[in-house]
Structure 1
Amino acid sequence: MAELNTGDGGGKGKGGKVRSKKSNAKVDLTAMVDLAFLLITFFMLTTSLSKPQSMDLGLPDKDEKKDENKDIKVDQRRTVTIILGKDNKIKWFHGLIEAPEAGGAPADAVYGKNGIRKEILKRVVSIPQVTGDKKKGMIVIIKPTKLSTYRNLVDILDEMAICDVPTYAIVNDFSPEEKKLAEEMNK
């Protein structure tokens, strides 16, 4: 049993007077200890632990019929291509790089709200989305180079989630113009 002993109020050492002996005051702490353990147990069982967060990512099927893949024609006004380079560099262009008159002139950007996010948000708002069977809207093509880091890819995927981009793809095919742009960027 847990108890708290207090000092003896006896009369020893105080002159010659004899006083009546007082009994020690004892406080039983068993109930308080029981309550403390009950509260600790209650809060441990009712608290939810932090769960790891992950992003849903749609991957292609492992289909062995590679010859059946067909090229899909997409309106170039709906596409934005982002090339990731070394040292956190980003080059992006709207439409096709081969057709700069359609908005395809490459531009530099940085990660964050005043960089690539601002450009993506402008285009997400300007390209209408149709709900229903066919969802139209902006398509972002992400092309990481061999010198870009995994963190750069995660950061750009976070930007896609923040901007609520309906369709995006990670691609490792580079056109000759895009290869030249990536080589200039990674110098």
Structure 2
Amino acid sequence: MKNLPRKVRSKKLSSKVDLTAMVSVSFLLIIFFMVVGELSKPKTLALGLPDRDRGCGGEPSIGCYRGERFYTVLLGDNNKLITYAGLLENPIGKPKETNYSKNGFRTDLRSINKKILEYSAAIGKSNRGVVVFIKPSQKSNYGNLVDILDEMRLANIEAYAIVDDFTPEESKLLASK
């Protein structure tokens, strides 16, 4: 018998796939989407206004604010800074012009916040400090607004808002002094 040529059979390679890299990429994607989801949640500021069920008197009323907790800061040109407590129609004290120094605006802000915290504690509403409305005019500069925001942080003011709506009385007040 003759040696017949044998058919050469090819070796079968294993069909295993290494998924180590795929698992790593999957975990990275999961972490990425978790972080993006957490960072994209809207951040809100709790604005503590008077209770809706207790009006100015004792009767229920909506939108009846006397403004005991309000403090308004008007920013003008040439580093002009005018402040008043309460509402302009019935302010608590006269509106006054102050400056950006440590003994100026910061001292005023801390004293008014202390008074309001004491008043809130006296009526049984603790930790309800001042609500500051910052109103920059068209002529004020960005640096002054940043300075005021720094003062809010330094004075530990939790509730403040930047408002661009000037009343005619506030415009007159800013132009007169």
Deviations 1:103-132 (A, max 9, x none): 1521010002110101000011111267xx
Q: Secondary structure, in 3 states, of the residue corresponding to 2:112?
A: helix
TM-score (norm: length of structure 1): 0.55
Length, aligned pairs only: 114
TM-score (norm: length of structure 2): 0.57
**Equivalent pair of 2:66/2:87 in contact (CA under 8 Å):** no
2:155 is aligned to 163
Structure 2 residue aligned with 1:123, among 76, 98, 112? 112
1:144 is aligned to 136
| Structure 1 segments (4+ residues) deviating >6 Å | none
Alpha-carbon distance in structure 2 between the residues aligned to 1:90 and 1:127? 21
Alpha-carbon distance in structure 2 between the residues aligned to 1:73 and 1:163? 28
Alpha-carbon distance in structure 2 between the residues aligned to 1:144 and 1:81? 11
Deviations 1:49-97 (A, max 9, x none): xxxxxxxxx679xxxxxxxxxx955441111100001111100001111
Note the C-alpha offset of 1:182: 2.2
Q: What is the one-letter code of the residue matched to 1:105?
A: K
For structure 2, which runs of at least 5 residues remain unmatched after alignment? 1-42, 46-61
Q: Secondary structure, in 3 states, of the residue corresponding to 2:132?
A: strand
Change (3 A) 1:155 1:86: same
Note the C-alpha offset of 1:172: 0.7
Change (3 A) 1:180 1:59: farther
Alpha-carbon distance in structure 2 between the residues aligned to 1:173 and 1:104? 22
Change (3 A) 1:162 1:81: same
Q: Could you say which structure has the greater relative contact order, defined with CA pairs below 8 angstroms and 6 or more residues apart?
A: 2
Q: Secondary structure, in 3 states, of the residue corresponding to 2:68?
A: helix
Write out aligned runs for 1:13-28 (5 A): none
1:108 aligns with 2:97: yes
Q: Secondary structure, in 3 states, of the residue corresponding to 1:76?
A: coil
CA RMSD after TM alignment: 2.4
Note the C-alpha offset of 1:168: 0.4
The structure having more radius of gyration, on CA atoms, is 1
Alpha-carbon distance in structure 2 between the residues aligned to 1:154 and 1:85? 14
For structure 1, which runs of at least 5 residues remain unmatched after alignment? 1-57, 61-70
Change (3 A) 1:76 1:151: same
Q: What is the one-letter code of the residue matched to 1:150?
A: Y
Change (3 A) 1:144 1:72: farther
Note the C-alpha offset of 1:148: 0.4
Q: Secondary structure, in 3 states, of the residue corresponding to 1:140?
A: strand
Alpha-carbon distance in structure 2 between the residues aligned to 1:82 and 1:167? 13
Q: What is the one-letter code of the residue matched to 2:86?
A: G
Of all paired residues, the percent bearing the same amino acid is 40
